[in-house]
Amino acid sequence: MQPVTKPVSIGYSPCPNDTFIFYGLTHGKIDLPGTELATPILEDVETLNGWAMEHRLDVTKLSFHALGHVLDEYCILLSGSALGRGCGPLLVARSPLDLARPGRYKIAIPGRLTTATLLFRLFWSGYAQTMGGPVSRALRTAQERPELVEMRFDTIMAAVQQGQVDAGVIIHESRFTYQQEGLICLQDLGLWWERDTGYPIPLGCIAARRALGRGRILAIDQAIRASIDWAFAHPEQCLPYVREHAQELEERVVQDHIGLYVNDFSRELGPAGMAAIAAFLQRGRAAGILPPSCRALGPE
């Protein structure tokens, strides 16, 4: 008698890039021999980040920030990631802020473990250190660092508009709609990263528990790549599922989101993608935000 194998649990975000990527795999369009997938769980990425800290899912969408905390348990897949240029988080506000002025701003962040939060912390640290004179010294004191306020990503723009916070770090569809809400961009954090490092910004990945074993992990990776190819070949079949879960229903916003975040790096990270990820994690470790790790990024 063959042993009964437990279905592989899987979770990803309701954002258009993830639902577009996973539609084929989770709707019977892609074969995954020898592996049964459980019904997918769609949750905000920060919820998935927290679950990864508890090792709850076998295959999961993760922020690269969160990945840096769970590399002993999870490895990244070569397919399904969100990296790119011109697609990073934005720091927005109602009106211009003098970031050089001593004073403790309240900044909304889309979760403690999101890539956006780590990116903002790296930016602010570098910003304070490169300013000269007494202002720079003041900003390096604990009293003058910004107060980070955790919020769901889809509530940040309203909090900025209503004055609950001085500024907010926005992600996902908000990138395409913040100007319609009367907000301005103080800093494109992805552009700052690109100019500072030369690398594309690594935002999120699909990770698998190492306990699944190398063979099964590679099979799931290949199936996700096939699901991406299927989605690009049949976009009209994916769209109802994508729109069902999207925060913004305007078709242009949905299409722009997919076009920006599902790209060549999504299909295959490649050397450039892996180098960008390694640089991001190294900077997080150097800043004392991420723990050291000796595990490889991929399956071993």
Closest CA relative to residue 277, chosen from 68, 90, 18, 13: 68
Pairwise CA distance, residues 153 & 174, whole Å: 8
Strand duo 147-150 + 184-188: pairing? unpaired
Active-site position among 27, 55, 65, 172: 172
Which amino acid belongs to residue 38?
Answer: A
Dihedral in degrees, nearest 10, Cα atoms 234, 175, 274, 227: -20
The edge-to-edge listing of strands for the beta sheet with 106-109 is: 147-150, 106-109, 167-170, 90-93, 184-188
- Residue 73 to residues 44, 219, 290, Cα–Cα distance (Å): 21, 18, 15
Pairwise CA distance, residues 41 & 46, whole Å: 13
Token pair of 165 as six digits = 């916070």
Active site residue 234: no
Show which residues are catalytic: 172
